[in-house]
Structure 1
Amino acid sequence: MRKLVEFQILDQNALHYGIDLSELMDNAGAGIADYICQNFKDKKRISFVCGNGNNGGDGFVASSILLGKGFEVTIFQLSTPTSVIAKKKFLELGLVAKNISELDEYQDKTDLLVDCLLGSGIKGDPRSPIDKYIEIMNSFDTIVSVDVPSGIGSRCAIAPNVTITFHDYKVEMNEENSGSIILCDVGFPEYIDQRTGPGELLLYPEFENKNIKDRMEKSE
């Protein structure tokens, strides 16, 4: 079990050591889709709410797989992805998305909502208009969050039925704020856990390199 900041460190060190983050995203998306197929096969109308970072990219991959399996999938996007990997996935998969402002109109057209809005690197309370969208998302009947519930630990957070999290359990997550917690292995090499790298600078903000900070923001 680890703290959320440890996963940010892990992501940065993985990037530093040349691990294929695109492949990890594929594995995460496949894990999400597989869980939904096994546990929510009766919920054919699925709405994915995808943020700008890699969390949204996981949702893109899962959406594509579920579309191929006959589910009726609608993707809602906050804006154009800032994550290079997520943006590339969206284009490669030939996906089409609606603006998140239309989400409220889909409550009666959605059996399952998948929360891929905010990743584990977001700190503090969600700002406007994201806080408003989180309130709308919470009005849906059945919610699955990806990695962590969006806004976890803040005054405005998703309250999911299930959270599919990756690599290891997060200290900050429990059944009360995350629902049932499902662990999905996305294929991080074991040696990453045993090596240090530039990600460790995130523990010391006064020494944090701006390039690392910029790369982290693009990955969320």
Structure 2
Amino acid sequence: MNVQVTPISPERLADEVTGLVMSRAGRVRLAIDGPPAAGPQALADRVGARLRERGRAAVVVLAADFLRPASVRLEYGREDPDEFLDGWLDVGGLRREVLDPAAPEGSGRVLPRLWDATADRAYRDPYTTLPADGVVVLAGALLLNRGLPVDLTVHLHMTPAALARRTADEARWTLPAYARYEREHTPSETADLLVLTDHPDRPALRH
């Protein structure tokens, strides 16, 4: 199998992802998956802005705003990598409040934020209604192949060495979770678009 790698700027990457969304009619649920060091939120914000410029309503949703309460999330301690992968994200809440309503046959009524993990209480954000061609751009880590109903997926991949180099000391305990995620959930093999982000300011597409 021939693997091609095409260098691309962050701005061109946002254009590429936006083009994938624009090629689809109706509502679209896009997941941009990657560790914080790869910049999934920054890419999501760029894509959301471009979609709005092109006339598509877009809501950027951060997985970090859909974590489970601390009493559940931290049951096995604050630095358990297995729980970080398997138990931190409120998959049910994300489906119920965002992804199911944003489906083509859904109500379109989505909640941009659910849980403030820092304050450990619910946000009080109002719901927003997506039109028939609206887009949800979900950004965060460890999102793919875990039962989330999405229509397009982008995986921002970092090699273990680059991820370790770019992860802050206080978050290094998460590294085994990312290794297990790549091994068990295989996001690099299943994403619609695979982006190599060892140098986030100089990404590359892998075909």
TM-score, structure 1 normalization: 0.39
> Which of the pair is proportionally richer in helix?
1
The structure showing larger relative contact order (alpha-carbon pairs under 8 Å, at least 6 residues apart) is: 2
Q: With structure 2 as the length reference, what TM-score do the two structures score?
A: 0.41
Higher strand share: 2
